[in-house]
């Protein structure tokens, strides 16, 4: 089971490469009760200003995850900062134990700071990064 939040499509692209049927966090938040159970669960989210977007924070804080292995994949365009560590401790404060966190550098779409055409011209090897993260998840790396 994989949940994702994607405003521009980067995280949706990653989620579809990791799972055949990823679930939209925006859609899941419409449910009154959010208790999930599966052997493996994951979450794909962009990094916003060094942390998770508010909608993802709300999802983690108000949902229950029953799983043996919980992973998070964070996407970013320029710097991943300390977002993985921040995410780990945020989740832990809401009784969610993260077993693995991976990051993937993608096109930066923060338009006020970066030129989209310049970003699109860069080869950030997204597909290779996604394959590596997927291998790590399948191997259940910590």
Domain holding 24: CATH number?
Answer: 3.40.50.360
Look up the pTM and report it. 0.90
Residue ranges, the chain, pLDDT below 70: 108-124
Could you list the residue range(s) of the whole structural domain that residue 80 is in?
A: 2-138
Please, how many CA atoms are within 13 Å of residue 40, restricted to the half-sphere of its CB?
A: 14
How far is 25 from 113, CA to CA, in rounded Å? 27
Check residue 109 and give its pLDDT: 56
Lay out the sheet containing 69-76: strands in order across.
Answer: 23-24, 2-4, 40-46, 69-76, 100-105
Check residue 99 and give its pLDDT: 98
Tokens 């989209």, located at residue: 116
Q: Count the Cβ atoms, other than its own, within 10 Å of residue 87.
A: 25
Give the residues across from 130 on adjacent strands: none
Tokens 């579809």, located at residue: 16
How far is 52 from 29, CA to CA, in rounded Å? 16
How far is 94 from 53, CA to CA, in rounded Å? 16
Q: Are 77 and 108 in contact (CB under 8 A)?
A: yes
Q: How many domains, the chain?
A: 1
Check residue 75 and give its pLDDT: 96
Check residue 111 and give its pLDDT: 47
How far is 98 from 28, CA to CA, in rounded Å? 20
Check residue 98 and give its pLDDT: 98
Q: What is the pLDDT of residues 46-78, one digit of tens each?
A: 999 899 999 999 999 999 999 999 999 999 987
């Amino acid at each position: 089971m994989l949940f994702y939040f994607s405003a521009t499509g980067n995280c949706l692209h990653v989620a579809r490469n990791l799972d055949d049927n990823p679930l939209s966090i925006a859609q899941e938040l419409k449910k009154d009760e959010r208790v999930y159970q599966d052997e493996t669960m994951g979450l794909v989210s962009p990094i916003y200003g060094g942390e998770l977007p508010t909608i993802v924070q709300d999802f983690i804080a108000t949902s229950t995850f029953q799983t043996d292995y919980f992973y998070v994949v964070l996407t970013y365009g320029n710097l991943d900062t300390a977002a993985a560590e921040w995410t780990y401790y945020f989740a832990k404060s809401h009784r969610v134990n993260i077993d693995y966190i991976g990051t993937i550098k993608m096109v930066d779409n923060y338009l006020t700071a970066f030129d989209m055409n310049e970003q699109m011209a860069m080869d950030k090897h997204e597909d290779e990064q996604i394959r590596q993260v997927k291998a790590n998840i399948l191997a259940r790396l910590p």
